[in-house]
């Protein structure tokens, strides 16, 4: 009996870990919460009785967020190990007016790509005595979820640099853009994060030109690529 209980617990933890990785909570929390409340995705792929309604509810984020509601096939994860690991850090003296001015329009030189998405915050987060851990909603199709109360929705903006950068250059580039924080992935991808985001933006390597296909990726102790003198001009002015 004890062994059966342990097997059940371990199985549940494995399942939770998988969906935590497959579901992009940072991007999907707001739209998934809405679809959970309206029960638009309360079915599965076997009968697909709500597929059309779920597709309509998730709208243009369906391909991004269908795994959060178990309405798309499990992804075939092919990313390298380094793209799953990252370093995060807050930056001193962010200049958010500069950051939002830069991300408001596409970069003509294609040095970076910006992404903006809504996030629901509990209003308690903004009270001085708030001490509780912030958590984003995640579900399976069998759960019933009560409507969220006292919620404020803000737009989170992040920037992905196109080319691979070293750790130090990623930090310097994000500082020069006025970002609040940054996330540097061990595959060289650099993400600059605004001040209206949870958990340092998106925990997923999405840089357009990084890592290069066929390139031999260095270990974390060797990750000094991107610091050649001829690339110093790539720093955001």
Reduce the DSSP state of residue 218 to 3 states and report it: coil
Residue 212 has pLDDT above 90, yes or no: no
pLDDT in tens, 10-39: 333 333 333 334 577 778 888 888 898 898
Dist CA 103 CA 199 (whole Å): 20
- pLDDT recorded at residue 46: 75
Dist CA 115 CA 104 (whole Å): 10
- pLDDT recorded at residue 22: 57
- pLDDT recorded at residue 211: 84
Q: What is the mean pLDDT of residues 133-149?
A: 51
- pLDDT recorded at residue 68: 85
Residues 6+ apart with CB under 8 A from 175: 91, 92
Q: What is the mean pLDDT of residues 182-201?
A: 94
Local confidence band at 83 (pLDDT 50, 70, 90 cut-offs): low
Q: Are 191 and 201 in contact (CB under 8 A)?
A: yes
Q: State the alpha helices, DSSP H only, in 90-180.
A: 96-103, 167-176
Q: What is the mean pLDDT of residues 165-194?
A: 95
- pLDDT recorded at residue 216: 53
Residue 48: C-alpha distances to residues 43, 45, 58, 75 (Å) = 6, 5, 15, 19
Residue 126 has pLDDT above 70, yes or no: no
pLDDT in tens, 110-125: 999 999 988 887 776 5
- pLDDT recorded at residue 156: 93
Residue 81 has pLDDT above 50, yes or no: yes
Q: What is the mean pLDDT of residues 233-237?
A: 38
Local confidence band at 74 (pLDDT 50, 70, 90 cut-offs): low
Provide the mean pLDDT of the chain.
73
Local confidence band at 151 (pLDDT 50, 70, 90 cut-offs): confident
pLDDT in tens, 88-109: 999 998 999 999 999 998 998 8
- pLDDT recorded at residue 67: 80
Residue 216: C-alpha distances to residues 128, 172, 229 (Å) = 48, 25, 21
Terminal-to-terminal C-alpha distance of the chain: 65
């Amino acid at each position: 009996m004890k062994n059966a209980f342990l097997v059940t617990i371990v199985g549940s933890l494995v399942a939770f870990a998988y969906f935590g990785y497959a579901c992009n909570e940072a991007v999907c929390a707001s739209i998934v919460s809405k679809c959970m409340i309206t029960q638009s995705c309360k079915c599965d792929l076997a009968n697909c009785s709500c597929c059309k309604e779920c597709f309509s509810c998730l709208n243009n984020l369906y391909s991004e967020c269908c795994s959060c509601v178990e309405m798309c096939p499990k992804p075939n994860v092919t990313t390298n190990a380094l793209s799953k690991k990252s370093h995060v850090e807050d930056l001193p003296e962010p200049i958010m007016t500069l950051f939002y001015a830069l991300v408001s329009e596409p970069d003509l030189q294609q040095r970076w790509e910006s992404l903006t998405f809504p996030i629901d915050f509990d209003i308690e987060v903004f009270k001085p005595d708030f001490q509780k851990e912030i958590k984003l909603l995640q579900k399976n199709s069998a759960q019933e979820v009560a409507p969220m109360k006292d919620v404020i929705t803000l737009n989170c903006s992040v920037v992905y640099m196109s080319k691979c950068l070293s750790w130090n250059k990623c930090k310097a580039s994000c500082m020069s853009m006025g970002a609040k924080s940054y996330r540097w992935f061990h595959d060289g991808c650099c993400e600059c994060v605004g001040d209206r985001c949870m958990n340092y933006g998106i925990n997923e390597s999405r840089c357009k030109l990084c890592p290069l296909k066929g390139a031999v990726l260095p270990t974390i102790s060797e990750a000094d690529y991107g610091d050649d003198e001829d690339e110093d001009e790539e720093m955001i002015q």
